Structures are given as structure tokens and as C-alpha cells.
């Protein structure tokens, strides 16, 4: 019987290996930027066309390469950084395995120009599907320019798996930001389709963080800096008020290499415990420096997942450093032990405590409660507390029952609740709000308890779905249009969603690269709340984009419904509650929210009778 195992041809083997390293255009961006950093460049330019599908080009002013090195760098496992196996565990450079350029050349058309500063002539190389088509001398600036064109042109099936241009561009911006944050002393720029998205001058880490994440963070960053013999940590965390509902502004770097570590992220979350809501995520940009011998980088093709020889020490160190920073900058809550000067003027301190006053004090019920045994539970019969049962009776008298206005301030909340319970007693169909979270409504077979937020989310979800497919939602034009400045990645998201947002009632116009003019919002959104509405929508959209596998329109509708639903804790009028009930049961799927939570629970009358032993 003939042998059936054969060696793969080099071109197929290269494409298989490329699939581990180059998954999308952003993967090539990461590798090319890191190579430019390793080359000692001080100025690095990134040019993108068609979200990297047509062109990814990186130009640097680094050390350049000789004509021999220029050809060798595209061979698999060709590297200048590894001479022995020990070198693998003392790596401080970004690239070292010699896979990046070989992988790019296997799935794209590559052109490279390179020249060393002391040479008069550089080298031009053209590669197509791992085959060198041309190599010749050329005139070029010192440094290296690599252009990757037509990604996956020779693997159409892989190209079909790429996402929309906006989605791929978001990934490119993410990779660009990670490298730019790691090296603030270098100048970076990013141009997409002829427009400049970033121009980052050399500066301090704080300047780089603020220029990327936004000027509004300038006064909201807390410095983290701890030094030990084993490891060092430095960087910034955001104050608790900067925490968001979605992950995003969270960056860990180990020896200047961006990593993903749920373990270290948990250490940060623990340090922020009880300062931010449990479903929020703090901002942090943290750099950990330690001996490369304690780190194994070579465990993942993209080198974003690494291993430590002792994770517990690292966890405790990160947690302690952040807690110390927050306490040092008075961010954590603290007890105030300073005495109010007004207390010093009270009669209790300035006047003598005479025998007469002592006798009067010892006869009070409060004194007896604290000094006599078994008195803590006793209610003084002369006290008004003996009428505690009356607190549960009607709060309104005939003299004032008609004086309560329909819209009550917070201080008269109890009176409003009592009034509604009285209405419910006279008209059994009037809904009643419970703890400002649930709506209780009587039905023929018993009653139902409605979660007001989940129910409203279902109502809005179906309303927005109809708006996209049938009739757009009315827009409320703003008297004074607002200018909204977004982060580059968020601006890409909004640009992609503009047509759908207009159908949902938003009137937005681009006003520059990262700026939009808000001329109108859906009619049911309160005027003056335009910016908060769009920022909340963005956060929810990113939440659904990362956790749910739905198309973009579905993600947008769910995000809109969740962002605009009435929150728990909001007091509702009788008409508002009835509208929610009527609209909920007019929905096609009234029993669950878009996220799958129950919108209401029904209680049958016979179940209630059984609970109270009425059948006995």
C-alpha cells in the first residue's frame, strides 16, 4: 500500500502559518508598527486604504536594512534577535520569531523600500504570494517603507470572513493606540483614505494618554508608581467617576508589550471594589517592568497572552499599588476626624453640668434605655412612638386630601404613595408602583407584577424595529445644535450607523474627522440631554457588539432600547404606568425583554388563597 503522508509545499505551509499571525488587516498593522519600533525609529507613519484591505503601509526613519537583509527578512524564522534558546527568555524587543513579514508576504502583495543612513542607495523588493518578483537598487529616505496591498488576494475564502470597513478600521485603530501608548517618546501618525486620524507628537505618558483618550481625562487621572527589587509598575488609573459600563479604556503592558490578562484585570477591579458599581469598568493604563526571565511571551502567535512564573505575586502587587495610589491622592473615602468649631460653642461643653441637670437627665427615658437592663426594646408610653401603628394608616385627612398636586417634590413622596394606595382601594384597576421599580396591576385571575425597566425596554425595542423597517421616528429639532467630539474609534462607529440613526430619530451631521453636529434627537428624549443620550448609546452598542452575535442593526436597536428605557427608581404617575401596561401587552413578545429577562410575573388568585391557607 502506498505511503499517504507528504510534506506540504512551502507556499501552502506559509499560508497556514500566516493564518495564525495575520488574521485581519489590524494584525499586519501591529506587526509592522512593532518592527518599526525595533528598528529604532523616532517617527512612524501608518497609511490605510479601504480599512487595510487595499493597503497597509508603514514608513519609519529607523536603521533600515542592507540588500541581503532586505531579502532575508521575508524568509520564515529569519531573525536578528535569537541566537540561542536562552535568548528566547531574555527578549525585550517586540518582534523576534521572524514570522511577521513571512506571513504577510504569504497572503498579500508586498513592496518594500529600505536604506541604511550611511548608504547612498537603498533596496526595492516586490513580493507576490511569497515569491520575490523584483529586487533592485532605488533612491529612498533613510529607514524602511513597507506596503502590504490586496490582503488575502490569493485566499478568497479568508477575505470573505473580513468584517465591514468600519469594523476592520476599529481594530486597526485599537492596535495603533496600543503601540502608540507603549512608546510615548516616539512620534506616530495614522492616515486613512487620505485623511489624518491621529498625529501624536513625542511627549510624556500622560500627554499621550490624554491626546488619545481625550482632553476631558486630563484632570481625572491618578498616578500609579511603585518600585521593588522584583518588579516596577507605573502608569495611570482613572478616578472612580470615569468608570464606564463597557470595557475599552483598559491597557496592561508588560515590558512595553500590550497584553490581555483577565487575572490582572481582576486585581484592578478588586482594588476599585466599593468605589464603582459592580457592572462598571475603570480606566487604566499600567506598565509592569520585570526581568524577562520571569515571563514567557512565546505562548501565543500574537504574543498578547503571556505567562508569569508567579502570578500571585503580580496580582497582589498590582492590587496594592492601585489601592495605595487611590488613597494617596485622596480618591478613596476617608473619615474626617476634624472637630467642627461650632461644637465647641454648645452649652453642653461651655456650661457646667450641675447636680440639677444631672437629676433631670437621669429621669429621661433615653437615659434609662442605656443604663437599665432589658430596656432597649421598651417604648416610653408618654412618647409619640406609641402611635407607631398610625404610620401605616391613611396619611391624608379630609382637610388636606385635595391639596396634593399631581407632580410632587421628593419630600412628599410618602403622601403621593398613600394617595395612590387609596385610589387603588376605590378603583381596583388603578395600577400601583412598588418601590419605584415594579408596577402592580390587577387582572381577572389575580394580579401581575411588572418590572418597569424591562417592560419599557421591550416596548422601545419593538418600536425601534418598526422604525427601521416601516415608519421612521419623529425627530425633535434642537433649538441650539450641539457639537459632539468623539474618540476616533467611536467616530467610526457613529459614521457607520448614521443612516439607521436618522431613521431612529437622530439628526447628526459629520463636522470634521471626529466631530458631529447634533441637530435633533428622538422626540421622546428630553431636550438638553443630547450628548449624554448619544454617549450612552455608544456604550451600550459596544456592549452588545462584544457580547452578542447579532447584525449591526440588531445591536443598534438593542442598544437604543436599553439606553432609553426608564430606570429603576423613577417615580411614575398613574397614566404613565397604565401606558406601559397597555403598550407592553400590545407587543408581539410581551413576556421577556430583548435581553431575555422576564418583564412580568403573574400571581393566580387560587395560588394566593393557597398561600394564606384559605382552603383550610
- Whether 173 and 262 map to the same domain: the answer is no
355 domain residue, yes or no? no
Contact call for residues 508 and 494 (beta carbons, < 8 A): yes
97 domain residue, yes or no? yes
> Measured between alpha carbons, how far is 508 from 485 in angstroms, rounded to an integer?
12
Torsion-angle region of 325 (φ positive above 0: left; ψ -120 to 50: alpha; else: beta)? alpha
Tell me what pLDDT residue 616 has: 52
The H or E element spanning position 356 is helix 355-362
Tell me what pLDDT residue 73 has: 83
> For the chain, how many helices (H) and strands (E)?
19, 22
Closest CA to 478 of 534, 526, 538: 526
DSSP for 329-354, please give it: TT-S-----PPPGGGGGSHHHHS---
For Cα atoms 43, 49, 52, give the angle at the middle one, nearest 5 degrees: 85
Tell me what pLDDT residue 400 has: 44
- Whether 192 and 232 map to the same domain: the answer is no
19 domain residue, yes or no? yes
Kind of pairing, strands 284-290 and 250-254? parallel
Here the CATH number for the domain that contains residue 106 is: 3.30.565.10
592 secondary structure, DSSP code: B
Q: Which three cell numbers stand for residue 180?
A: 502608540
Kind of pairing, strands 515-522 and 507-510? antiparallel
> Measured between alpha carbons, how far is 209 from 415 in angstroms, rounded to an integer?
51
Q: Which residues pair with 321 in a beta bridge?
A: none
Tell me what pLDDT residue 375 has: 57
342 domain residue, yes or no? no
Q: How far lies 192's CA from each of 23, 53, 70, 196, 325, in Å?
A: 20, 12, 27, 6, 38
169 domain residue, yes or no? yes
Contact call for residues 24 and 35 (beta carbons, < 8 A): no
Range of the domain at 213: 206-328
Helix axis angle for 574-584 and 452-469, nearest 10°, is 60
- Whether 545 and 478 map to the same domain: the answer is yes
Sequence-separated (6 or more) residues with CB below 8 Å from residue 22? 28, 31, 103, 104, 107, 151
- Whether 42 and 84 map to the same domain: the answer is yes
The H or E element spanning position 60 is strand 55-60
Q: How far lies 495's CA from each of 16, 122, 424, 560, in Å?
A: 35, 41, 49, 16
Tell me what pLDDT residue 85 has: 55
- Whether 171 and 258 map to the same domain: the answer is no
Task: Indicate the burial class of 285 (C-beta count within 10 angstroms; 0-12, 13-18, 19 or more).
Answer: buried
Where among 154, 177, 200 does a domain terminate?
200
Closest CA to 298 of 90, 40, 14, 103: 90
Tell me what pLDDT residue 409 has: 45
- Whether 193 and 273 map to the same domain: the answer is no
Under DSSP, is residue 496 helix (H, G, I), strand (E, B) or coil?
helix
- Whether 151 and 178 map to the same domain: the answer is yes
> Measured between alpha carbons, how far is 425 from 417 in angstroms, rounded to an integer?
13
- Whether 558 and 526 map to the same domain: the answer is yes
Backbone angles phi, psi at 573, to 5 degrees: -80, 170
Q: Which three cell numbers stand for residue 271?
A: 482594588
Task: Indicate the burial class of 160 (C-beta count within 10 angstroms; 0-12, 13-18, 19 or more).
Answer: exposed
> Measured between alpha carbons, how far is 453 from 572 in angstroms, rounded to an integer?
12
- Whether 483 and 584 map to the same domain: the answer is yes
Closest CA to 487 of 201, 268, 271, 177: 177
341 domain residue, yes or no? no
Where among 148, 172, 200 does a domain terminate?
200
Where among 300, 328, 356 does a domain terminate?
328
Contact call for residues 54 and 197 (beta carbons, < 8 A): no
Kind of pairing, strands 187-192 and 43-49? parallel
Tell me what pLDDT residue 284 has: 94
DSSP for 199-229, please give it: EE-S--HHHHHHHHH-GGGTTSEEEEEEE-S
Contact call for residues 216 and 531 (beta carbons, < 8 A): no
**108-161: pLDDT as tens digits:** 899 999 999 999 999 999 998 888 899 999 999 999 999 999 988 888 877 888
What's the whole-model pTM score? 0.67
Tell me what pLDDT residue 143 has: 94
Mind spelling out the 3-state secondary structure of 409-452? CHHHHHHHHHHHHHHHHHCCCCCEEECCCEEEEEECCEEEEEEH
For the four alpha carbons of 348, 351, 356 and 358, in that order, the dihedral sign comes to positive
Sequence-separated (6 or more) residues with CB below 8 Å from residue 53? 25, 150, 151, 159, 162, 165, 168
354 domain residue, yes or no? no
Q: Which residues pair with 143 in a beta bridge?
A: 115
Q: What total number of domains does the chain contain? A: 3
- Whether 193 and 235 map to the same domain: the answer is no
Tell me what pLDDT residue 579 has: 92
The widest CA-to-CA distance across the chain, in whole angstroms, is: 117
List the chain residues with pLDDT less than 70: 1, 10-21, 76-98, 246, 296-306, 330-351, 365-428, 526-529, 543-550, 614-616
Here the CATH number for the domain that contains residue 268 is: 3.30.230.10
- Whether 273 and 315 map to the same domain: the answer is yes
For the four alpha carbons of 357, 358, 360 and 364, in that order, the dihedral sign comes to positive
Rg (CA), the chain: 33
446 domain residue, yes or no? yes
- Whether 134 and 229 map to the same domain: the answer is no
Q: Which three cell numbers stand for residue 208?
A: 499621550
Contact call for residues 45 and 141 (beta carbons, < 8 A): no
Here the CATH number for the domain that contains residue 475 is: 3.30.1370.100
Contact call for residues 137 and 124 (beta carbons, < 8 A): yes
500500500: which residue's cell?
1
Closest CA to 175 of 39, 48, 42, 38: 48
Amino acid at each position: 500500500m502506498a505511503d499517504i503522508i507528504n510534506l506540504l509545499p512551502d507556499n501552502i505551509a506559509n499560508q497556514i502559518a500566516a493564518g495564525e499571525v495575520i488574521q485581519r488587516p489590524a494584525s499586519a498593522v501591529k506587526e509592522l508598527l512593532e518592527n518599526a519600533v525595533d528598528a529604532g525609529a523616532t517617527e512612524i507613519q501608518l497609511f490605510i486604504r479601504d480599512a487595510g484591505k487595499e493597503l497597509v503601509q508603514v514608513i519609519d526613519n529607523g536603521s533600515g536594512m542592507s540588500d541581503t537583509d532586505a531579502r532575508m527578512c521575508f524568509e520564515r524564522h529569519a531573525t536578528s534577535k535569537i541566537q540561542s534558546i536562552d535568548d528566547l527568555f531574555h527578549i525585550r524587543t517586540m518582534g523576534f520569531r521572524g514570522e511577521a513579514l513571512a506571513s504577510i508576504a504569504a497572503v498579500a502583495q508586498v513592496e518594500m523600500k529600505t536604506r541604511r543612513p550611511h548608504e547612498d542607495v537603498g533596496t526595492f523588493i516586490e513580493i507576490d504570494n511569497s515569491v520575490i518578483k523584483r529586487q533592485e537598487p532605488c533612491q529612498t529616505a533613510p529607514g524602511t517603507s513597507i506596503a502590504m496591498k490586496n490582503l488575502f488576494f490569493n485566499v478568497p475564502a479568508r477575505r470573505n470572513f473580513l468584517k465591514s470597513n468600519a469594523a476592520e478600521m476599529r481594530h486597526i485603530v485599537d492596535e495603533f493606540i496600543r503601540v502608540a501608548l507603549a512608546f510615548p517618546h516616539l512620534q506616530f501618525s495614522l492616515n486613512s483614505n487620505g485623511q489624518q486620524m491621529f498625529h501624536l507628537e513625542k511627549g510624556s505618558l500622560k500627554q499621550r494618554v490624554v491626546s488619545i483618550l481625550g482632553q476631558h481625562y486630563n484632570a481625572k487621572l491618578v498616578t500609579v508608581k511603585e518600585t521593588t527589587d522584583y518588579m516596577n509598575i507605573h502608569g495611570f488609573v482613572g478616578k472612580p467617576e470615569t468608570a464606564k459600563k463597557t470595557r475599552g479604556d483598559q491597557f496592561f503592558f508588560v515590558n512595553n508589550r500590550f497584553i490581555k490578562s483577565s487575572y490582572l484585570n481582576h486585581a484592578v477591579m478588586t482594588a476599585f471594589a466599593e468605589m464603582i458599581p459592580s457592572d462598571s469598568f475603570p480606566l487604566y493604563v499600567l506598565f509592569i517592568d520585570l526581568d524577562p526571565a520571569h515571563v514567557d511571551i512565546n505562548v501565543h502567535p500574537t504574543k498578547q497572552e503571556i505567562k508569569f512564573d508567579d502570578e500571585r505575586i503580580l496580582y497582589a502587587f498590582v492590587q496594592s499599588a492601585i489601592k495605595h495610589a487611590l488613597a494617596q491622592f485622596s480618591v478613596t473615602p476617608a473619615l474626617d476626624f476634624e472637630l467642627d468649631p461650632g461644637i465647641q460653642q454648645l452649652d453642653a461643653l461651655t456650661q457646667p453640668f450641675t447636680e440639677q441637670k444631672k437629676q433631670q437627665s437621669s429621669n429621661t427615658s433615653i437615659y434609662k434605655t442605656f443604663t437599665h437592663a432589658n430596656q432597649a426594646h421598651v417604648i416610653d408610653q408618654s412618647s409619640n412612638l406609641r402611635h407607631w401603628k398610625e404610620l401605616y394608616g391613611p396619611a391624608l385627612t379630609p382637610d388636606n386630601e385635595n391639596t396634593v398636586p399631581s407632580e410632587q417634590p421628593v419630600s412628599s413622596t410618602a403622601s403621593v404613595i398613600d394617595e395612590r394606595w387609596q385610589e387603588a382601594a376605590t378603583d381596583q384597576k388603578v395600577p400601583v408602583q412598588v418601590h419605584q421599580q415594579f408596577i402592580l396591576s390587577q387582572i381577572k385571575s389575580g394580579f401581575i407584577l411588572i418590572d418597569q425597566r424591562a417592560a419599557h425596554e421591550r416596548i422601545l425595542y419593538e418600536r425601534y424595529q418598526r422604525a427601521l423597517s416601516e415608519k421612521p421616528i419623529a425627530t425633535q429639532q434642537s433649538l441650539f445644535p450641539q457639537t459632539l467630539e468623539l474618540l476616533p474609534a467611536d467616530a467610526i462607529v457613529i459614521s457607520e450607523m448614521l443612516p439607521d440613526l436618522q431613521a431612529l430619530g437622530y439628526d447628526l451631521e459629520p463636522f470634521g474627522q471626529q466631530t458631529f453636529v447634533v441637530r435633533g434627537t428622538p422626540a421622546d428624549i428630553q431636550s438638553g440631554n443630547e450628548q449624554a443620550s448619544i454617549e450612552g448609546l455608544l456604550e451600550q452598542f459596544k456592549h452588545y457588539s462584544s457580547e452578542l452575535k447579532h447584525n449591526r442593526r440588531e445591536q443598534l436597536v438593542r442598544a437604543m432600547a436599553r439606553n432609553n428605557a426608564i430606570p429603576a427608581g423613577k417615580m411614575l404617575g398613574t397614566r404613565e404606568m397604565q401606558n406601559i401596561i397597555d403598550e407592553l401587552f400590545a407587543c408581539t413578545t410581551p413576556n421577556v425583554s430583548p435581553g431575555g429577562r422576564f418583564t412580568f410575573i403573574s400571581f393566580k388568585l387560587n395560588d394566593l388563597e393557597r398561600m394564606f391557607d384559605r382552603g383550610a
